[in-house]
Structure 1
């Protein structure tokens, strides 16, 4: 099994959530579904472009390897080592989201405070654990690709925020952003 597709899927979903987080709390309107969707799509677009960096890194490493078959096997093992901690993290996020959407108001609020809030703060640690998994399973080349991928996904939210939602900048739909 090649871990590239599940990792790419996790990366683009994370990018969409990052776009949403860059926008969250900046608009006091009650009905803001379109703005939320636009923010998620912005994150998705930025994340998709940034995730080309680890893909290109992998291609360069494979093209320059002395033994491409051995390098591919090592990168596959490293990708699986990278995927395991992220799959565990994504499962925890999905369970928290399910609790948020399916439980009554008070319980869903608790799920947000106890689950999604801390999990958002733990994203860099989950990526660090994934990098460690890549190193242990696949070696230094896998760590390089994992580090590039981790930097890419952690950069989406600040880039989206800086480009579209900076404090003091008018929002694209004319609503002033918070200070």
Structure 2
């Protein structure tokens, strides 16, 4: 699997979770699986749309480059550098999510309090670290594409919240 495919997959999974987070706490019903699934699908749809921005940015970098082969190699190196911080973060989230799903109520509450909650707050820092790694591996064009991708995934939750779950007072 190429780094770009793995990054798109991580971005889409993150978008689905962002849609869920935009919905979480908005409904007091006990049985709300359909609403949670709808929220995740909304996040996925918004994420897929917003992830076109880094693809267009990468395409623009390649189209305007003097040496396209060298630019492609730099973007590929940048994607390779962008992936490890995100993969490490995704593994930590999956571990916390598994603990939340498997442990009894007290343990799942603890998994949320020390795992899922703080990890959600760390998302922008992880993306910034990934951008720095992309810069180190592939140079400024890779960092640009990474920054656009990071901004896209960070915008999913606010867009979904604003579009579907904002309560007008």
Give the TM-score of the pair, scaled to structure 2. 0.97
Q: Aligned residue pairs: how many?
A: 169
> Structure 1, residues 87-146: CA drift from partner, whole Å, max 9, x if none?
010000000001111112211110111100000000000100011111011100001000
Using the TM superposition, give the Cα deviation of residue 62 of structure 1 relative to its aligned residue in structure 2, in angstroms.
Answer: 1.1
User: What is aligned with 2:138?
Assistant: 138
- Segments of 4+ moved more than 4 angstroms: none
> Structure 1, residues 49-86: CA drift from partner, whole Å, max 9, x if none?
00000011111111221111111111111001111100
Alpha-carbon distance in structure 1 between the residues aligned to 2:46 and 2:85: 24
User: What is aligned with 2:26?
Assistant: 26
- Runs of 5+ consecutive residues of structure 2 not aligned to the other structure: none
User: What is aligned with 1:54?
Assistant: 54
Q: Considering only aligned residues, what root-mean-square deviation do their CA atoms show, in Å?
A: 1.0
Using the TM superposition, give the Cα deviation of residue 2 of structure 1 relative to its aligned residue in structure 2, in angstroms.
Answer: 2.9
The alignment status of 1:107 with 2:107, answered yes or no, reads: yes
> Structure 1, residues 33-57: CA drift from partner, whole Å, max 9, x if none?
0000000000000000000000111
Alpha-carbon distance in structure 2 between the residues aligned to 1:128 and 1:85: 9
User: What is aligned with 2:44?
Assistant: 44
Alpha-carbon distance in structure 2 between the residues aligned to 1:124 and 1:167: 25
Give the TM-score of the pair, scaled to structure 1. 0.92
Alpha-carbon distance in structure 2 between the residues aligned to 1:161 and 1:101: 25
Q: Is the deviation greater in 104-113 or in 86-95?
A: 104-113
- Runs of 5+ consecutive residues of structure 1 not aligned to the other structure: 169-178
The alignment status of 1:93 with 2:118, answered yes or no, reads: no
User: What is aligned with 1:172?
Assistant: none
